[in-house]
Structure 1
Amino acid sequence: MKRFLCLGAVLAGLLTFALQQRASAAGFDCRKAVTLQEQAICTTPSLSAKDEQLNALFRPLKKHQVFRSLGASWLYEVRNACQTIACLETAYDQQIKRLTPAPPLPKVDVHALSPLPEGQVYMQIDDEPWERYVLAELPQAPAHVFKHIVDAAVVDGVLHVILYVSNSNDRDNMYLSERFNHQTYGTLYEYTDTRPGWHTIADHVAFQGWEKTGFYDQGERYAGVVDGVFYYRQREGKGLQQAMAYTLGSGAAPQPTAQTFQVPSSTAQFAKARILDDINSNNSTLTLSYDERVGGHKTERVMATDATDWSLVNPAWSENRAVLYFDNSGAMACVWRVDLVNKVLSKIVPEHEAVSARPVELLGQEALVYLEENRLGFAIAPVQ
């Protein structure tokens, strides 16, 4: 049988004898093979071996909602859509690569991040959506309350997401409360990818997670995950603040701590760690400002379309890549990715309601979590 023959009459003619001889060759019982794809796996030694390899990779991951979603999508939309042996081989190769931990990324060469020549802009890709899945429905709350992903982290291979939901229905009241140092209250939740639902970390807490709940950048951050522990501050009487610590996945009550979490704003974090002075703070353009380490103070314009189409919100830098993510509103709403190495601006989550994106690394692969209306979403980069 030639490798590129269609899965039809040729396979059917060999099926009975082959399945009897290879009843346990694949990662499933070949005596129960029904579809042409399953029959092809059982009668093709290379496919059978890859099916076993893929099952061995998936077995320790199947307790994770992320990998169950990835597996189901691949099975029904990719593998079962194949009509040739060659297609199945490619499908298995890609999914095996998806579930195989990637080697550590090389350190970013900051000297390779020089700005574009004046007048040039980034390549813009409007149709590069990543694989996207719904991980969980958000805790019940009125539609217009403020919801935000405080942080996300992968600890011992498990994805954790910290969500803040305000008790107030009116965002403007939150801004006024911050301005005049009044207390606003809300609930902190944890999503853990190996168990269903949300765990309440702290209810009706005067949460102090950032300097401001602004449209562009929240300023200095006072809440985040370090080494598997979520640190945050809560306001107490007479303007006092108490630092609190919660061990991810523990389900235990947060405890007061002497260790406080404080990092620069999202825009300044990348500037201090890498080579940028800043990214612009107005909501109509995206301009990166480089410092003297790349040959003098220079800037580059990223966005190529009319400035009125853009409203930069919630910038977040990858800790492992020279990449910026941000939410956008207005005509170009969705989640965007800025690749400083390859000079590419791409739309990676096309839903207009997608906000509050936070990057994570899963098996060494680039991914992020985000909110979309009343759902927690997950997106992962295509297999390269």
Structure 2
Amino acid sequence: MKSIYSFPGFLSLTFLFFSSFVLSASFDCGKASTGVEKKICSSPSLSIMDEKLSEFFKPLKNRRAFQVIESDWLESERNSCESVECLEDAYVHQIQFLSPVAIAPRPTQKDIKLMLGDKAYAQFERSWRVIDLAWLPNEKGAVERFVISAETISGMLYVIVFEGHFDPAMIAYRGNLYEYVDRNDRPVLHTIAKDIGFDGALNLGSNDEGKRFAGILDGAFYYRQQLSKNQLRGMVYKLGSKLPPVESSLLFQQWPNTDENAVSGLTFGWGGDYGKLQAYYSHTKGYETIAPVGRPEVGWNIYSPIWSKSRPTFYFKNGNETIWRANVADKTLTKIATAIDDGMINNPTPVDINGREAVVYLNGYTLKMAISLDE
């Protein structure tokens, strides 16, 4: 996949030095105070790069995730440079990262070939850029946390999260529903419903949660509220509205995350340590090995494989510590994120952000997003 924009002319120093905008940075050079700012203002190439970066950031500046990304880049990359060459490299990489990406058409199962021979997928460990999106209230008695749904609609990311506990008397989860919208709002989280019986899936929180009864459809979040052990009602909340949810006659039902959008079938073998992770396809005989026993980590303890809607890729957590992606088209297996602060990872859910591959997940009570640096 390639960016919608092309950079060769922009990155050519010959072009840069003869441009008519050579000393036009995105900020007032008359007020430049730091060494980095003075280097940018005195360098024709850097001045243009700064202007170009500002153009790419402008349509993203109201999205909270990209504000965090830009702030982190300024502090940890740009402002740590001591030379023009270092600054040019930093700007090139950030412009490429912020530029919108065109997503290639998703191949069908018949387009994907079975890998021949007893070989495993090529294995990589490439940590994606990880951003803290929000912190759940972590209220007293809240011991369970799940990402219920995550969708990008018209470029805006919406995430629905549940925090609470299992109520054995009601035989249901009880707690709060929150909405995260990736824009510069305060507070960052909106409480959709508080202290409710929530029926989100047949087996919410298990490895295979079964059919789901809560999810996003046509710009709204539908869920079932449990009133008693034997009474439920359908509810709907309009995304981003911050209005109270209302009763709905439409009941949402969807296939399990492990099956929805699946391009291939998966098997998780047993034998000593957790066995091979394999894929198979309905249009051809045989299996291919995604990961052998004990590699690349010692033992596999695989939970919640979830398929991307737009890519021939599924994501899963190994134990509670790491998130992996497997691409059945290019036959690669990549570790993309690791838990921090001894927290437990929950519900890695794929989304597309500005055309880039990304995963929303919980690390303890922190809502995070890992986004790919390579496209």
Question: Normalising TM by the smaller chain, what interval?
Answer: 0.7 to 0.9
Report the alpha carbon displacement of residue 51 of structure 1 after superposing the two structures with TM.
0.8
What aligned pairs does 1:229-240 form with structure 2 within 5 A after superposition?
229-237=220-228, 239-240=230-231
Structure 1: unaligned runs, 5 residues or longer: 4-21
Secondary structure of the residue that 2:259 maps to in structure 1? helix
Structure 1 contact 97–383 (Cα < 8 Å) conserved = no
Distance 1:60 1:341 in 2: 32
What aligned pairs does 1:171-250 form with structure 2 within 5 A after superposition?
182-194=171-183, 195-196=185-186, 197-237=188-228, 239-250=230-241
Structure 2 contact 23–44 (Cα < 8 Å) conserved = no
Report the alpha carbon displacement of residue 120 of structure 1 after superposing the two structures with TM.
1.4
Distance 2:371 2:231 in 1: 41
Larger mean Cα displacement after TM superposition, 305-314 or 340-349: 305-314
Report the alpha carbon displacement of residue 189 of structure 1 after superposing the two structures with TM.
0.7
Report the alpha carbon displacement of residue 25 of structure 1 after superposing the two structures with TM.
1.3
Number of aligned residue pairs:
348
Equivalent residue, structure 2, for 1:71: 70
Equivalent residue, structure 2, for 1:251: 242
Q: 2:135 aligns with which of 134, 137, 142?
A: 137
Larger mean Cα displacement after TM superposition, 311-320 or 276-285: 276-285
Q: Deviations over 1:14-66 (max 9, x none)?
A: xxxxxxxx997100111222333322221222221221121122234222220
Equivalent residue, structure 2, for 1:10: none
Q: Which amino acid aligns with 1:290?
A: Y
Equivalent residue, structure 1, for 2:25: 26
Report the alpha carbon displacement of residue 114 of structure 1 after superposing the two structures with TM.
2.4
Structure 2 contact 360–368 (Cα < 8 Å) conserved = yes
Distance 1:147 1:237 in 2: 22
Q: Deviations over 1:240-297 (max 9, x none)?
A: 43222111110111122232222211222133xx3x244449893463442332x23x
Report the alpha carbon displacement of residue 328 of structure 1 after superposing the two structures with TM.
1.8
Secondary structure of the residue that 2:261 maps to in structure 1? helix
Q: Describe the shift of the 1:161–1:376 C-alpha distance in structure 2 as closer, same or farther (beyond 3 A).
A: same
The structure carrying a bigger strand percent of its residues is: 2
TM-score by length of 1: 0.82
What aligned pairs does 1:277-292 form with structure 2 within 5 A after superposition?
277-280=265-268, 284-285=274-275, 287-292=277-282
Distance 2:65 2:205 in 1: 31
Larger Rg: 1
Distance 1:114 1:56 in 2: 41
Structure 2 contact 258–304 (Cα < 8 Å) conserved = no
Q: Which amino acid aligns with 1:324?
A: F
Distance 2:275 2:206 in 1: 14
Equivalent residue, structure 1, for 2:146: 148
Structure 2 contact 275–292 (Cα < 8 Å) conserved = no
Q: Which amino acid aligns with 1:210?
A: A
CA-based RMSD of the aligned residues comes to 2.7
What aligned pairs does 1:87-98 form with structure 2 within 5 A after superposition?
87-98=86-97
Distance 2:258 2:277 in 1: 12
Q: Describe the shift of the 1:45–1:102 C-alpha distance in structure 2 as closer, same or farther (beyond 3 A).
A: same
Structure 1 contact 229–248 (Cα < 8 Å) conserved = yes
Structure 1 contact 23–30 (Cα < 8 Å) conserved = no
Report the alpha carbon displacement of residue 113 of structure 1 after superposing the two structures with TM.
2.3
Equivalent residue, structure 1, for 2:349: 358
Q: Describe the shift of the 1:322–1:285 C-alpha distance in structure 2 as closer, same or farther (beyond 3 A).
A: farther
Structure 1 contact 189–202 (Cα < 8 Å) conserved = yes
Distance 2:77 2:67 in 1: 15
